[in-house]
Amino acid sequence: MATSTSPFAVLLLPISTLPVPRGQLKAQYGRTLEAALRHSRPNDQSTSRLDIALLLKDVAANRSALFDPIQHLLADVYTLVCMIAAQHKIELDFPGGIDVRLFIVDLSATDNNVSPLTGPLISASTFAASKRHYKHWYAPESLHTSHHVKQLLQQLHQNIEALPEGQPSTNPETTPQTPSSSKHSTSSPHHRVAVGGTFDHIHIGHKLLLTATIFTAQPSATQHREITIGTTGDELLVNKKHAKVLESWETRQSRTADFIESILVFPDSADANDISSLRTIQHIDEPGPNGKIVRVIYSDQKTGEKVTVNYTRISDPFGPTITDESISALVISAETRAGGQAVNDKRGEKGWAPLEVFEVDVLDAGSDEREQDGKVERTTFDSKISSTEIRRRLAAASPLTAGL
């Protein structure tokens, strides 16, 4: 496991209703996010981490039914972060920048016996008990108006700096409400979920895809969650642009595992030894396709909850989705929709049940417009969500790889 970027700060962001139009989200929390990003920027070429806890209320038990409104929210918050970072020349996921990570806190779930392994959706009591060593706690000015949030603040026992807000919310109490259902509202919960990708120089687009995947896997008292992360093998990436600065499979796997652990596991202490006590790592190297796996198993003795994350090295477009029949759901981005159909065609040829496909938004790598001094300014943020652009910049900065 790679050493995690230290969690420098956390921003508590209450979400009043779902879905939230992106314009409303920007008007309501744009200034808050800008202030949090400015405060979190490092003073050197290190990378600081800003966690954003999205506060909701009465989150539905069936995560499949909640997938669409949740992934839209994650995508819109990440997009807004990119827009603000581009406007103010704040680096993201790059030396001298900020590593932003999102998770969800259900303020109405206060059972003290909830497992610490339910992330990226956790109860308020689990979050309060996790005692993460944040140096700074931020929240918008209106946060103290919510009864549920007041309870959370009392549990946290933290001095939380109030940050500015934009336009007033349509709900002045900003009390989070139950999200609306999605097109998956009639589907059964899934306990074995898969996703695939290169995950090179992990960035916000990857974070959205991985967070949605972990969310989709349903916690259960009777069935353990198993999440398969198919990561493209090095041999398939030799023709990538700026391949000299492309991370090895081992590095990509390790950095992906670090990110997933940070949004999945919330033990009742921030001591690294407590996380280690929950974690078992197995290295599997068997012949045949999809035989190389780093298997990370998290087990909570108090609640009996168990989560297995398989980091599988893949050498074809299908990966373990056509070698592991037990997988029942696949999370993809809109740009890889055809791949999801191809997987189900292959499974059909084997007589297997098709996977339910959950699709996340493609983050808008276009531009944002704003008017200043009577002029319309356009800001692009392609570099915030592109591994190719990150590699180009790294290659250009290195005298050993310049021009490659």
Residue 101 predicted with pLDDT over 90: yes
Q: What is the pLDDT of residue 60?
A: 75
Q: What is the pLDDT of residue 288?
A: 84
Residues 362 and 333: beta-carbon distance below 8 Å: yes
The gap from C-alpha 145 to its chain's centroid, in whole angstroms, comes to: 28
Taking residues 82-87, report their average pLDDT: 91
Strand 121-123 relative to strand 98-106: parallel, antiparallel, unpaired?
A: parallel
Per-residue confidence band for 174, with pLDDT thresholds at 50, 70 and 90? very low
pTM of the prediction? 0.88
Terminal C-alpha separation, the chain: 30
Tokens found for residue 199 = 């995950």
| More confident of the two residues 298 and 8 | 298
Nearest one of 214, 231, 230 to 307, comparing CA atoms:
214
What angle, 0 to 180 degrees and rounded to 10, lies between the N-to-C axes of helices 22-40 and 63-87?
A: 60
Q: Whole-angstrom Cα distance, residue 304 to residue 301?
A: 5
> What does the mean pLDDT of the chain come to?
84
Q: What is the pLDDT of residues 237-260, one digit of tens each?
A: 777 777 677 899 999 999 999 999
Residue 189, preceding peptide bond in cis (omega within 30° of 0): no
Q: What is the pLDDT of residue 240?
A: 75
Q: What is the pLDDT of residue 144?
A: 63
Q: Whole-angstrom Cα distance, residue 206 to residue 164?
A: 29
The gap from C-alpha 267 to its chain's centroid, in whole angstroms, comes to: 18
- Provide the percentage of residues in the chain whose pLDDT is more than 70: 82
What contacts 20, CB < 8 A, 6 or more positions away?
73, 76
Q: Whole-angstrom Cα distance, residue 80 to residue 87?
A: 11
Residue 131 predicted with pLDDT over 80: no
Q: What is the pLDDT of residue 108?
A: 81
Q: Which CA distances in Å does 279 have to 162, 265, 297?
A: 36, 10, 6
Per-residue confidence band for 3, with pLDDT thresholds at 50, 70 and 90? very low
Q: What is the pLDDT of residues 176-222, one digit of tens each?
A: 445 555 677 678 899 999 999 999 999 999 999 999 999 999 998 78
Q: What is the pLDDT of residues 281-302, one digit of tens each?
A: 999 999 888 999 999 999 998 8
Q: Whole-angstrom Cα distance, residue 110 to residue 127?
A: 10
Cα-based angle 234, 240, 245 (whole degrees, multiple of 5): 75
Q: Whole-angstrom Cα distance, residue 156 to residue 68?
A: 30
Tokens found for residue 382 = 């392609």
Q: Whole-angstrom Cα distance, residue 32 to residue 36?
A: 6
Highest mean pLDDT among 82-91, 110-119, 151-160: 82-91
Residue 20 predicted with pLDDT over 50: yes
Q: What is the pLDDT of residue 171?
A: 45
Taking residues 360-382, report their average pLDDT: 61
